[in-house]
Amino acid sequence: MSTVRRVGVLTGGGDAPGLNAVLRAVVRACTVGHGVTVVGISDGFTGLVEMRARELDLDDVSGLLVRGGTILGTTNRGNPFRYAFRRPDGVEEIVDASDTAKKNVEKLGLDCLIVIGGDGSLSIGERFWRELGVPVVGVPKTIDNDLFATDYTFGFATAVQSATTALDCLHTTAESHHRVMLLEVMGRQAGWIALHAGLAGGGDVVLIPEIPFRFEPLIAKFRARERRGRPFSLVVVAEGAAPAGGAQVFAGEDAVTGWKRLGGCSYAIAREIEARGGYEVRATVLGHIQRGGSPVPSDRILATRFGIEAARLAVGGCFGSMVAISGDEIVAVPLADAIGRLKRVDPQSQLVRAARAIGVVFGDEDVEQAASSEG
């Protein structure tokens, strides 16, 4: 018989489509299914330290399934173990506020804290459980889909949809103007969005962090397409993609372009292709558009299932665990196993080989290979 009566929930890290759907499912499952009260904590761990929280009932989460964002607010900051505390004199100092956070969990009367977040937030949650004994259940969140312990994360499919729609738009312009069009998508350490959107949007070249690229095969691909009467190409660039030899081949560029702010080096890549190939090139950085919007159906379903399972684990006292999807089943995995490990694209994987089989070039090919990839 469960003694859990009150469950807290917070969202941490970057915004992702489906966060609100998780919150809705947590509240519905707790309230309707388990008779448990849910307390929403504002702005991630910051709100826990600063004791900003309110109860959430069915009315609060009505209509959330279709809405992007999180009604709780979220932030990339606010690690209680290294908390940026602003003193009355305005000076900021880094303090350990984890004890305050723990005490606030008690003050709020929470029997469990559901942490919805990426690797950073989940790692904090794991320490709360392991070091401080705060009962924690984790829900993984990253639009990059690079968390190790789950096959997929909600938000990813919506980000792929946004990127694919953008590619569909750029395709007609590329074709009409005989241009090379670059689209930079998210993925600092893993190229999942670029790979999926590249396949779905008909990208001719896909550049991902896992496969350092050279410019020669790219130019060879463009030339081969020209010869086949297609004097235009689409290049999908993950934020973290870099040429073989490292991003330092662009050294000195940073000062000139300022593109670091945006994450990736697609402007530098665009210029290099113009210089080497004589093409008219245009680069677009999709940016935060990928984080927003109404989640696609599969993300709504995944987020809902994660929320339901997190409620079940919380109520059932399975603390220190994280929900995940494996195949088509929602499962629980130890938080400790889930954090600190990246799931990256395997260059030998079936999906990458499939892309190559229909002619997608990743930039690690021989020039001849790249040329023959186009018919």
Whether the CB-CB separation of 205 and 180 falls below 8 Å is answered with no
Q: Among residues 177, 227, 276, 341, which is the contact residue for a copy of itself, using CB under 8 A?
A: 177
CB of 248 or CB of 349, closer to a copy of itself: 349
333 binds a copy of itself (CB under 8 A): no
Sheet strand arrangement including 205-207: 205-207, 233-238, 180-185, 281-285
- Asked if 9 and 113 count as a contact pair (C-beta separation under 8 A), the reply is yes
Which residue from 6, 52, 60, 372 is in contact with a copy of itself, where contact means CB under 8 A?
372
Per CB under 8 A, which region of 84-92, 96-104, 160-168, 339-347 contacts a copy of itself? Answer: 160-168
Nearer to a copy of itself, 26 or 339 (CB): 26
Contacts with a copy of itself in 91-110 (CB under 8 A)?
Answer: none
Is 230 one of the binding residues for a copy of itself (CB under 8 A)? yes
Torsion sign (Cα): 337, 127, 20, 196: negative
Per CB under 8 A, 278 contacts a copy of itself: no
Helix (H) / strand (E) containing 41: strand 37-41
Of the residues 108, 188, 202, 316, which one makes contact with a copy of itself according to CB under 8 A: 202
Q: How far apart are CA 193 and CA 160, in angstroms?
A: 6
Subset of residues 116 to 135 that bind a copy of itself, contact rule: CB under 8 A: none
Residue 263 binds a copy of itself (CB under 8 A): no
Q: Which stretch binds a copy of itself (CB under 8 A): 101-109, 239-247, 324-332, 336-344?
A: 324-332
| Ranges within 233-262 binding a copy of itself (CB under 8 A) | 255-259, 261
- Answer yes or no whether residue 221 interacts with a copy of itself by CB under 8 A: no
Instruction: Tell me how far apart the alpha carbons of residues 269 and 281 are, in angstroms, rounded to a whole number.
Output: 10
Per-residue tokens: 200: 């779905």
Q: Least distance to a copy of itself from the beta carbon of 147, Å?
A: 15
Pairwise CA distance, residues 222 & 232, whole Å: 7
- Answer yes or no: are the C-beta atoms of 53 and 109 closer than 8 Å: no
When asked if residue 369 is in the footprint of a copy of itself (CB under 8 A), the reply is: no
Residue 297: Cβ-neighbour burial (10 angstroms; 0-12, 13-18, 19+):
exposed
Pairing status of strand 321-326 against strand 281-285: unpaired
CB of 303 to a copy of itself, least distance (A): 10
What gap in Å lies between CA 53 and CA 259, rounded to an integer? 38
CB of 307 to a copy of itself, least distance (A): 8
Exactly one of 282, 337, 344, 347 binds a copy of itself (CB under 8 A); that residue is: 282
3-state secondary structure of 278: coil
Smallest separation (angstroms) from a copy of itself to the CB of 58: 5
